[in-house]
Structure formats: structure tokens, C-alpha cells
Amino acid sequence: MSGAPPSGSGRELANPPTDGISNLRFSNHSDHLLVSSWDKSVRLYDASANVLKGEFMHGGPVLDCCFHDDSSGFSASADFTVRRYVFSSGKEDILGRHVAPVRCVEYSYAAGQVVTGSWDKTLKCWDPGGANGPEHTLVGTYPQPERVYSLSLVGHRLVVATAGRHVNVYDLRNMSQPEQRRESSLKCQTKCVRCYPNGFALSSVEGRVAMEFFDLSEASQSKKYGTFATGGCDGYVNVWDGNHKKRLYQYSKYPSSIAALSFSKDGRLLAVASSYTFEEGDIPQARKSMCIGREQFAYKLSLKCEQKKKERLKKMEERKIYLQLHEAMEALVHFCRDGCRTIGPHDKVLKRSSAPCNFPACKGLESLVRHFAGCKSRVLGGCIHCKRMWQILELHSRLCQQNHGGCKVPLCWHFKEKVRNQSKKEEVKWKLLVSKVLEARG
């Protein structure tokens, strides 16, 4: 299988690995891309410039890799070793060893430790600042119920997924035992786990993804856009809105299975490893490639989802205001017709009670009317409270269905007469307000 990547899938990086790609990671500080492969290599690329900047060899297939910073990184290999690289000098050394192939590696910025998971059913933490040699860099070894298939970090939280659908959640500040022991909600073997601020996503070999949450009682903060990408043996990459469980975008089909995906730190770039994953046995001529796609379309859709959410909240706030105006209209008629506490018509005996009124807006409107009666600056139009009272009286007049002399609210007929001399622009504005208030009332 050959040729350029499909239209719309991005551009292909030059000098790809010569065998299957096991993982790829963007740096947290730049567009540098670290790639591990079954050809026993770890390669460093500048994804923006499409340049291979360095290559490091292992004694066996490399199953995972990660950055420390822009100048160094780590890898996990089937030769049982965990290695550290300094990119500028080309220097490398062995950070530590397991007694079986090392499946995954992560660097914790919160704890300053390298975390590795192995098929020897252990999790190990390493201090990269320690003296050379595993006996000096090993912080601790933590037995797991089965072989480790994937792990992921967010802050001090570590999530480990193993064979047998086991999921353990740790706090890196206290690794003596897991905070939580869980079983995957998916029926088939776990393929990958990735954390987000208040939970983690689990994928399985059946092609499903489950969104799991840490304790609901904890304070949490969502990512800026809340999107994630998935890829499978069908050669398709899909970008999803995890909050609404909706697919945002699907890339054109790639020439082979999707082995790994990685977003750049700013979400602007998505690296896609299109590489045969041995789902149909050994195929010697299977194509390997890496494409860098610009996430502009998915980014715009994410922004669209955010915009819709803001619009919904804005409409809810607007409806709340219109409901309050409707309540004010009811309260105005109530104390102008019946009287309530300290305000009412001259022919009514006022209750003068401190008990709450059945009309929610009554007390606030009562205070506004009392202010309106005694304010000295209202004639000059300099009082914001009096302006509000004028607006309430005019709004009432536009809602009122009473004939001349039939309404008890002061100035009602005055405002009805005033309407005849208003400009079209003012008339349109008031008609819109009246319709919104009536609509909010339902």
C-alpha cells in the first residue's frame, strides 16, 4: 500500500520508522514529536518543520515513549529497560529495568518522577534526578493484579489499566495502595486509558470508549474544549465532544490501522500514526506513516459547542429577567388596586403587616415607589431608580387591557396616549419587550 495520505488527513512526516509505530507524543512546550517503534528506534521530529532531529536505538522493540522536557525524554522497551535520552547531545542511559517487557512510561510533572508499567505485573516509580543505576533511581515497586497495558496521569492522580479489565487509581503522594480499585465498564480487554481533569477515558479492543469519573464530590475543572480523538483498525480518526457524546468530525480513511494519536499542547495539531497493528497476523509489506493534521475544523466545532452553551445560558438569564418584569407588573397592579403593607389606594385600609406578600416582587417594588414619591432629582432625569419606575409604568400601560379610567395604576392612560407620538424605532423596541415578557410568562 503506497501513495500520499488521503485528502483532508494532513501532511505526512518524512523519514518514518521502518516497522510498526507503537506510540507518539507531542512535547508540552513545542511542536516536537517523539515516536517509538517496533523497529527498535525512538525518533524525534520537529512536526512543524517536518524534520527528523534525532534517532536512538534500543535492544528490542520500543513500546512507549514520553517527554521530560524539550531537551530530554524517556522510553519503555521490550528488552525490559527504561531509557533516558538527552536530545541535544545524543546521550542516553538506562534509568531502570523490569523483569518483563515494559509496556508504558509517563513522566509526572507534579511528582517529578517517571512512572512505568510492565508485563511483569508491576508498576515502578523512578527519580530521574538520582545517581546513575536502577538501585539509585528506583523510588518504589507496586504490584498490580495483572499485566499493565496502559497508564495515564493528571496532576497527582495516576490511573493504571491492566489485563483482566482491572483499573487502579493512585495518588502519587501516597502509593502504598490504590485510592480506588475498579473494573472496566467495557466488556472487552482494555486498550488505552487517558486522563482528563475530573476523570478518565477507557478504550477497548471492541472499539468502544467509556468516560469514567473520579469521586463526584471533588472540585473539578474541565479542559478548554473537552474534545478527544479516537482511531481504530478501520483506518478512521474521529474527533468527539465527550460532554455531549457527539462526533464532531471524521478524517478521510488512512491507508492502515491507527496505531496512536497525540494532540499538541495548544490543540492546534493532531499527530496520527497510521501503522499496521497486527490485528490480522503478520503482513510484511504493511504501510507505516505519520500524518500531522491541523485541527481547525474540530477546533471550530468545539468553539461552536461552547458558543451554543453560552447562548443557552444567555437565554436562560434573559428569561429570568423577563419573568421578574412580569412579576413586577403583577405586584404593581396588586398594591395599586388592593393595597399592601404601606402603599395602596386612599379608599383601602392597608395591612401594614411584616408578613411576606404572595407577590414575590411586591416588597422591592414598594421600596421603588416610595423612593419615586420622594426623589428630588427625578424631574431632571438624573435618578436611575426613577427611570426604572417610569419604564415599569410604561410597560404596564402596554400590557394593560383596561379602558380609560378602568385601571388603578397611576399614569396608565397617560402612557397609552404617549405611544401615538413615539418614533417607529421606540415602538419596535417596546413591542419586542412586551412579547418577551408575555412569552416568559408562558
Q: Look at residue 247 in the predicted model and tell me its pLDDT.
A: 80
The 3-class secondary structure across 13-38, one letter per residue, is: CCCCCCCCEEEEEECCCCCEEEEEEC
Q: What is the mean pLDDT of the segment spanning 295-311?
A: 55
- Looking at domain 11-307, which of 2.130.10.10, 2.40.37.10, 3.40.50.740, 3.10.310.10 is its CATH number? 2.130.10.10
Among the residue ranges 32-41, 59-68, 401-410, the one predicted with the least confidence is: 401-410
For 383-420, write each residue's pLDDT tens digit.
888 888 888 888 888 888 887 777 888 888 888 877 77
Q: How confident is the model at residue 278 (pLDDT cuts 50, 70, 90)?
A: low
CB atoms within 10 A of CB 23: 24
Task: Reply yes or no on whether the pLDDT at 289 is more than 70.
Answer: no
Q: Does the pLDDT at position 302 exceed 60?
A: no
Query: Please, what is the angle between helix 362-374 and helix 384-399, to 10°?
Result: 120
Q: What does each C-alpha distance from 261 to 33, 48, 81, 281 come to in angstroms?
A: 11, 16, 24, 22
Q: How do the domains of the chain map onto residue ranges?
A: 11-307, 310-441
Confidence of residue 442 (pLDDT cuts 50, 70, 90): low
Range name among 94-98, 204-208, 298-302, 388-392 with the lowest pLDDT average: 298-302
As a CATH number, domain 310-441 is: 1.20.1020.10
Q: What is the pLDDT of residue 415?
A: 81
Distances in Å between the Cα of 388 and the Cα atoms of 254, 329, 339, 394, 420 are 63, 13, 21, 10, 21
State the Cα–Cα distance between residues 118 and 149, nearest whole angstrom: 8
**Which among 80, 71, 74, 30 has a CA at the least distance from the CA of 56?**
74
Domain 11-307 matches domain 310-441 at the CATH topology level: no
Whether the pLDDT of residue 300 is over 60: the answer is no
Predicted confidence (pLDDT) at residue 220 exceeds the cutoff of 60 = no
Mean pLDDT, residues 284-289: 52
Report which listed range, 299-308, 374-383, 395-404, is most confident. 395-404
Q: Which of 259, 251, 247 is nearest to 38 (CA)?
A: 259
How much is the pLDDT for 224? 47
Confidence band, pLDDT 50/70/90 cuts, at residue 143: very high
Q: Which residue has the higher pLDDT, 4 or 262?
A: 262
The three cell numbers of residue 250 are 471524521
CA distance 161 to 147: 9
For residue 201, the number of C-alpha atoms closer than 13 Å in the C-beta half-sphere is 17
**Which cell numbers hold the place of 278?**
497486527
Question: What mean pLDDT, rounded, does the chain reach?
Answer: 80
